[in-house]
Amino acid sequence: MLLPKISPGLTIYDMKTELVLRTDALCKSYKGVRVVDHVNMNVHKGDIYGFVGENGAGKTTILRLVSGLAIPDSGTYSLFGVERKDFAAANLFGKVGGIIEVPSIYRSFSALENLKMQCVLTGISKTDAELTAILERVGLDVKAIGKKRAGSFSLGMRQRLGIAMSLAADPELLLLDEPMNGLDPQGFHDMRELILKLHEQGVTFIISSHILSELEKIATRVGFISHGNLLEEISMAELREKSRKRIAISAEDIASIAETLKEEFKLQEFKLEGESLFIYDEIDVNDVMKVLVSKKIRIDTIAVNEESMEDYYRHLIVGGQGK
């Protein structure tokens, strides 16, 4: 999948634009059901943006909208700093590629023949040597697969071929819709390594998935979506910080409690937020309780918190506001 080809015009694409994709109150309904509801999404250059949500959350629809495969009912979006209404004046062809739903491959063609057909359909001029290099870039050995039909490839190989076809125009943004779906553990590993390799080469990614444990290993930022609503965007560093094992204490006089516990346990990692204290040091919560009781210090709550990405997402859905 590539953005539809447009007539050559003024190139207003700016390599220095920080936001590769920005959506503004994007909405889409099917048969009277709102599947994308006023989504404001921001993808920065260099992101591996993990788009997280349950089946039917609206992930695929948003990818279809921003790739030009569907038209929004309302709202708009920009790519590389170019507003949707100005696409006709910009030379964006080839800047965006990807796989939406399933790879669009010709099952009776070989891998190389698929790439040649992709070039014909999109008006790209590349030599066999250049196309072979693309196949090797995604980990397909042209000599090994020879003239084998793509229909005989494993699911992982077809996923690789689909990405190779998306790379034919040298895009800078790749949209991958559930690329891990149906893969075995080795396929997970291979796809993860491929994405990281392409990212090192300067490609920005939006990857939708409900397999959060795999996405957690590669994403730099995450957008959580449910029932068409984008609940939160957060960097993976922030998410890991929020998900770290910690002792959480809430009380009115939390500052003095923090000082007491800092002195008692020689705390190195802790954080004060409002009336809450978060302790990240490896200490036993029972030992903390003993100190608080012995010093007759009153608190409101104390708990040990440790969340997985799945836990965090579930709490977002319950809260509804990303709190």
pLDDT digits (tens, 9 = 90+) for 200-233: 999 999 999 887 777 888 999 999 999 999 999 9
Same domain? 220 vs 258: no
- Domain-embedded: residue 5: no
Helix (H) or strand (E) holding 311: helix 309-319
As a whole number of angstroms, the distance between CA 120 and CA 114 comes to 10
- Of 192, 210, 235, the residue that ends a domain is 235
Looking at the fold, whether 179 and 251 belong to one and the same domain comes out as no
- Give the residue among 172, 229, 180, 195 at the shortest CA–CA distance from 43: 172
Q: Which of 79, 41, 102 has its CA nearest to residue 225?
A: 41
Beta carbons of 138 and 163 less than 8 angstroms apart: yes
At 167 the pLDDT is: 87
> Where residue 47 sits, what CATH number does that domain have?
3.40.50.300
Residue 273 belongs to some domain of the structure: yes
Shared domain check, 153 and 295: no
- If asked whether residues 196 and 123 sit together in one domain, one would say yes
Task: Examine the domain organization and report whether 135 and 281 are in the same domain.
Answer: no
Pick from 39, 67, 66: nearest CA to 53: 39
- Intervals of the chain under pLDDT 70: 1-17, 88-94, 319-323
Q: Is 147 within the bounds of a domain? A: yes
Model pLDDT, residue 225: 94
Residue 86 resides in a domain: yes
Alpha carbon distances (Å) from 302 to 130, 206, 250, 278? 61, 38, 7, 10
**Is residue 51 within 8 Å of 209, Cβ to Cβ?**
yes
Tell me whether residue 7 is in a domain. Answer: no
| Domain end position, chosen among 202, 235, 268 | 235
249/204 same-domain check: no
Quote the domain boundaries for residue 115. Answer: 19-235
Give the number of domains in the chain: 2
Domain annotation covers residue 322? no
Asked if 67 and 172 sit in the same domain, the reply is: yes
- pLDDT at residue number 91: 65
Q: Is residue 11 part of a domain?
A: no
Q: DSSP strand E in the chain: where?
A: 19-30, 33-39, 42-44, 48-52, 74-79, 82-83, 96-99, 173-177, 204-209, 221-226, 229-235, 246-250, 270-273, 276-279, 301-305
**Residue written as tokens 């100190």?**
291
Query: How far is Cα 36 from Cα 39, in angstroms, rounded to an integer?
Result: 7
pTM: 0.77
Q: Tens digits of per-residue pLDDT, 256-270?
A: 999 999 999 999 988
Nearest one of 65, 48, 25, 7 to 201, comparing CA atoms: 48
Are residues 50 and 176 located together in one domain of the fold? Answer: yes
146 and 184, same structural domain? Answer: yes
Q: Are 156 and 191 in a shared domain?
A: yes
Please report which helix (H) or strand (E) contains residue 124, including its range: none
Q: Is 212 inside any structural domain?
A: yes
DSSP alpha helices (H): ranges in 185-303?
185-200, 212-215, 236-243, 254-265, 285-294
Residue 263, domain CATH: 3.30.70
- Do 225 and 203 fall into the same domain? yes
> Do 185 and 55 sit in the same domain of this protein?
yes
Among 216, 235, 254, the domain boundary falls at 235
Torsion sign across C-alpha atoms 323, 180, 228, 90: positive
